[in-house]
Amino acid sequence: MPAMLRNLAQRLGMMAHSFDGGIHPAQHKISAALASEPCPLSPIHILPMKMHIGAPCTSLVAVGDYVLRGQKIAKSEGYVSVPVHAPTSGRVVRIEEYAIPHPSGMGIPSIFIESDGDDAADDSIEPISDWRGMDPALLRERARMCGLAGLGGAVFPTFIKLVQDSRFPIETVVLNGIECEPWLTNDHRLMVEYADEILTGLAIIMHMVKTDSAIIAIEDNKPDAAKAIQLALDARDDLDDVRVVVLPTRYPQGSEKQLIYSLTGREVPAGKLPMHVGVLCQNVGTTRALYQAVVLGQPLTERMVSVSGDAMPRPANLRVRIGTPMRYVFARQGLEDFDGVRILHGGPMMGELLRHPDVPVVKSTNGMLAMREASFMSAHTQEQACIRCGHCSEACPAGLVPNLLADQCRSDQFDKAESYNLFDCIECGACSYVCPSNIPLVHYFRYGKGQIAQQRREKGFAEASRVRSEARDMRIEQEKQARAARRSSVRKTHPPKVEAESAPASEPAESSKMEQESKD
Amino acid sequence: MTGLFYALLSLGGFALLAGVVLAIAQQVFHVEGDPMVDKVDNLLPQTQCGQCGYPGCKPYATAVAALEAEVNHCVPGGERTMLAIADLMGVEPKAVEQEAAAPMLAFVREDECIGCTLCIKACPVDAIIGAPKQYHTILADHCTGCELCVEPCPVDCIDMLVKPELIEHWSWPLPKTRRSQLGHERREHHAGHA
């Protein structure tokens, strides 16, 4: 009932909108007050051929080549893809498969660059100071060629979202400075230290999608960030219709669809994009990277990373070159012995547990957490029976029924799980967090989603094979008929002397039938 | 007398009407062939490997639909396909005779290939390209791993390789909790007994 009352009040405008569900995990933002520092250049950088969602890139360099910082070293193949750039100057020493931050521990082809220490930059990309007078399409191309992908963690190629579609005009740009994951503070520091650059980036985005209105969303656990952004905003003479909105802290507020609902009351339908409700959502880090790409002409070669965790001797917010080995970054912060330490890529709620620190920092690395094994406990190996308390349904921000879905995934009833909208799950982990029976709900959903994806892939492959096999059968049949027709026409002009009277062979249909009979 | 007349008239009229409706329905909803064949064919993995003893997936589907073949002959499909077919046909599941092997891929060692085109003719899905006296090569994206090209090759230059696992195709395993494993064991137990 209270939920219904709240919905009604929100619709009537008596109450601010707020997404359903959510949790309040302990914040642990121990690195929030630490000013960002540059991470020194590592002797080697490892650039995987794919750091975004979409098609992998192909290498443009060979072993032994000398590259400059910002030089394009791999080109994108396909539309949903962005190129890779050298993070510093140096020589390409190897191109081979190397592990990436991925739960499978598997690797992909990567380019190894040994830095020469000069850090000489490639200045072939012109800075654009007069971006206001530029065609948005050119700026969009700039975002693509500078390798921009969503730095909040999803790494979706940014240029794809920065488009004017006459069917879906963007009314509001939402700048996502929520950072609801515990421990992570990288967006927080960016907003405090680079507020003006972020606002310029926002102005570029607003110019590109032709809108005057924007909302900068920040959670109330970062008052200094909200203040810094507000001060920078007041100092500017543009961006009149831009509001800073401070939202009460709740996880997963930073999730795109949930945030848009909290701010505008618009619900992004399942399977649709924010663009379909007239909203464009960008992370603050991506927005600053866009500023650097346009105004400074710098491709994406560096990002802010929160290095934290309860096993981290010196937590920090580091500006790390992409491709820097994580072991090197950890060593700089005083962590060299990984015994009894677990490493997380990203935050504790949605991040990935890594098997070892021998992976590079990639575009999606918003945090690197070193956690003591003891703080993981063994909670999820002691799964108990579901007691139907319903806490998971209350916590689910997507309005699903997690306990039901988990039962379906566990018992391989995938079509049923799909009909209960398994694919609307954003894998935020709120349900697993609240479950008193320690059921690893999200893991079941991931398992189910993976199995469904595999079944779809197999189905697609089988379908393609069937089409090919049927086409082949048809071709063989046609060839056979063509041969028979040719034979019969030859026989008409040169009738065989011996069986001239027994085989008239005038109609091709008859002759082919005959041939089949003779074959049988 | 009139009662009998009315009864005859109404029943006869109804029979006539039903006859007309059925006759029209037969024309309008006429189905070519056996729809069951397509449904079974849809469940098969379409490797066209012939390991079931039929010359391809469609012939096996036809035989299953006609109740001439058992449901457990598809080797690459494995237990899941067998269960799906048994469910569709409404028959008792039968244990699969052979464990499904890991998905394979044929590979031509090109420097040994003599360009005889025999494998091209054998490939059921047209996944081999080449011409007489030219190296042949196999399109990895289309190869179903049926092994039909291995036997005709006169110089034995075709290898069957395990299909490489791609990171894009990796998926999360079932969580390793006692309950999830228990459920899995129970399911397998049921499948084995059925």
Hey, is A115 helix, strand or coil?
Answer: strand
In this predicted structure, what is the pLDDT of residue A12? 72
Q: How far is A155 from chain B (nearest CA, A)?
A: 15
Does one domain contain both B81 and B128?
no
In this predicted structure, what is the pLDDT of residue A505? 46
Q: How far is A472 from chain B (nearest CA, A)?
A: 7
In this predicted structure, what is the pLDDT of residue B96? 81
User: Which residues make Cβ contacts (< 8 Å) with residue A391, sequence separation at least 6?
Assistant: A434, A435, A436
Tell me A412's DSSP state.
Answer: T
- The region that residue B27 occupies, defined by phi over 0 for left and psi between -120 and 50 for alpha, beta otherwise, is alpha
DSSP chain B: -HHHHHHHHHHHHHHHHHHHHHHHHHHHT---S-HHHHHHHHHS------TTSSSSHHHHHHHHHTT-S-S---TTTHHHHHHHHHHHHT------SSPPPPPEEEEE-GGG-----HHHHH-TT--EE--TTS--EE-TTT-----TTTTT-TT--EEEEEPPPPGGG--PPPP--HHHHHHHHHHHHHHHH-
Identity of the highest mean pLDDT range in B26-35, B62-71, B175-184: B62-71
Q: How far is A422 from chain B (nearest CA, A)?
A: 15
Does one domain contain both B85 and B109?
no
Query: Which domain does B69 fall in, by range?
Result: 35-89
Are residues A443 and B57, on separate chains, in Cβ contact within 8 Å?
no
Using a CB–CB cut-off of 8 Å, the residues of A that contact B are 100, 102-104, 106-108, 380-385, 410-412, 440, 443-444, 446-447, 449-451, 453-454, 457-458, 461-466, 468-469, 471-472
In this predicted structure, what is the pLDDT of residue A507? 47
In this predicted structure, what is the pLDDT of residue B191? 59
Look at residue B141 and tell me if it is in a domain.
Answer: yes
Nearest CA in chain B to A105: B167
Are residues A468 and B126, on separate chains, in Cβ contact within 8 Å?
yes
Structure ipTM: 0.81
Q: Which of B125, B171, B175 sits opposite A465 (nearest CB)?
A: B125
Indicate the residue type of A374. A
Q: Is the pLDDT of residue B131 over 70?
A: yes
Interface test with A, best of B38, B176, B179 (most A CBs within 10 A): B179
Does one domain contain both B79 and B109?
no
Look at residue B13 and tell me if it is in a domain.
Answer: no
Name the average pLDDT for chain A: 89
Q: How confident is the model at residue A515 (pLDDT cuts 50, 70, 90)?
A: very low
In this predicted structure, what is the pLDDT of residue A501? 52
Does one domain contain both B122 and B152?
yes
Hey, is A312 helix, strand or coil?
Answer: coil
Name the average pLDDT for chain B: 87
Q: How confident is the model at residue A18 (pLDDT cuts 50, 70, 90)?
A: confident
Q: Which residues of A fall within a CB distance of 8 Å from B78?
A: none
Q: How confident is the model at residue A70 (pLDDT cuts 50, 70, 90)?
A: very high
In this predicted structure, what is the pLDDT of residue B91? 87
For A434-470, what is each residue's pLDDT tens digit? 999 889 999 999 999 999 999 999 999 999 999 999 9
Higher pLDDT, A483 or B100: A483
Q: Is the pLDDT of residue A1 over 90?
A: no
- Count of alpha carbons within 13 angstroms of residue B136, beta-carbon side: 30
Distance CA A355, CA A345 (A): 10
Look at residue B183 and tell me if it is in a domain.
Answer: no
Distance CA A156, CA A161 (A): 9
Distance CA A128, CA B71 (A): 67
Domains contained in chain B, number = 2
Q: How confident is the model at residue A8 (pLDDT cuts 50, 70, 90)?
A: confident
Distance CA A483, CA A476 (A): 11
In this predicted structure, what is the pLDDT of residue A510? 45
Length of chain B: 194
Does one domain contain both B158 and B111?
yes
Q: Is the pLDDT of residue A498 over 90?
A: no
In this predicted structure, what is the pLDDT of residue B190? 65
Q: Count CB pairs under 8 A between chains A and B.
A: 89
Nearest CA in chain A to B43: A459
% of residues, chain A, pLDDT over 70: 92
Does one domain contain both B82 and B109?
no
Look at residue B129 and tell me if it is in a domain.
Answer: yes
Look at residue B23 and tell me if it is in a domain.
Answer: no
Segment A97-105 mean pLDDT: 92
Nearest CA in chain A to B179: A383
- Residue A212 structure tokens: 């005057």
Nearest CA in chain A to B173: A447
Q: How confident is the model at residue A200 (pLDDT cuts 50, 70, 90)?
A: very high
Contact A254, A349 (CB under 8 A): no
The CATH number for B122's domain is: 3.30.70.20
Q: How confident is the model at residue A3 (pLDDT cuts 50, 70, 90)?
A: low
Look at residues A189, A180, A141 and name the one whose alpha carbon lies nearest to residue A303.
Answer: A189
Are residues A462 and B183, on separate chains, in Cβ contact within 8 Å?
no
Q: How far is B194 from chain A (nearest CA, A)?
A: 17
Interface test with A, best of B38, B46, B62, B165 (most A CBs within 10 A): B46
Using the Cβ of B76 and the Cβ atoms of chain A, whether some distance falls under 8 Å is answered with no
Look at residue B1 and tell me if it is in a domain.
Answer: no
Are residues B127 and A468, on separate chains, in Cβ contact within 8 Å?
yes
Indicate the residue type of B11. L
Does one domain contain both B134 and B160?
yes
Does one domain contain both B159 and B121?
yes
Q: Which residues of B fall within a CB distance of 8 Å from A381?
A: 176-178
Cα dihedral A212, A79, A176, A426 in deg (nearest 10): 130
Q: How confident is the model at residue B99 (pLDDT cuts 50, 70, 90)?
A: confident
Does one domain contain both B40 and B80?
yes
Look at residue B98 and tell me if it is in a domain.
Answer: no
Using the Cβ of B180 and the Cβ atoms of chain A, whether some distance falls under 8 Å is answered with yes
Using a cut of 0.90, tell me whether the model's pTM lies above it.
no
For A228-286, what is each residue's pLDDT tens digit? 999 999 999 888 899 999 999 999 999 999 999 999 888 999 989 999 999 999 999 99
For A394-449, what is each residue's pLDDT tens digit? 999 999 999 999 999 988 889 999 999 999 999 999 999 999 988 999 999 999 99
Higher pLDDT, A390 or B32: A390
- How many angstroms separate the Cα of B90 from the Cα of each of A64, B34, B109, B140? 65, 16, 46, 37
Q: Which residues of A fall within a CB distance of 8 Å from B102?
A: none
Does one domain contain both B112 and B78?
no
Q: How far is A402 from chain B (nearest CA, A)?
A: 15
% of residues, chain B, pLDDT over 90: 36
Hey, is A371 helix, strand or coil?
Answer: strand
- Residue A12 structure tokens: 């009537």
Look at residue B17 and tell me if it is in a domain.
Answer: no
Segment A153-179 mean pLDDT: 91
Contact A414, A452 (CB under 8 A): yes
Segment A86-113 mean pLDDT: 94
Are residues A108 and B167, on separate chains, in Cβ contact within 8 Å?
yes
Adjacent-strand bridge partners of A58: A75
Q: Which of A172-176, A502-506, B124-128 has the lowest mean pLDDT?
A: A502-506
Q: How confident is the model at residue B95 (pLDDT cuts 50, 70, 90)?
A: confident
Does one domain contain both B42 and B73?
yes
Distance CA A479, CA A481 (A): 5
Distance CA A204, CA A159 (A): 12
Q: Is the pLDDT of residue B92 over 70?
A: yes
Higher pLDDT, A475 or B176: A475
Does one domain contain both B124 and B149?
yes
* 3-class secondary structure per residue, A314-356: CCEEEEEECCCEHHHHHHHCCCCCCCCEEEEECCCCCCEEECC
For A464-492, what is each residue's pLDDT tens digit? 999 999 999 999 999 999 999 999 988 88
Interface test with B, best of A468, A475, A480 (most B CBs within 10 A): A468
Using the Cβ of B62 and the Cβ atoms of chain A, whether some distance falls under 8 Å is answered with no
- Return the residue matching tokens 């036997």: B151
Q: Which of B125, B174, B183 sits opposite A469 (nearest CB)?
A: B125
Tell me A208's DSSP state.
Answer: H
Distance CA A341, CA A371 (A): 6
Length of chain A: 520
The CATH number for B81's domain is: 1.10.15.40
Contact A199, A123 (CB under 8 A): no
Q: Which residues of A fall within a CB distance of 8 Å from B181?
A: none
Using the Cβ of B78 and the Cβ atoms of chain A, whether some distance falls under 8 Å is answered with no
Distance CA A359, CA A456 (A): 31
- Residue A372 structure tokens: 């003591």
Interface test with A, best of B104, B172, B187 (most A CBs within 10 A): B172
Q: What is the CA radius of gyration of chain A?
A: 29
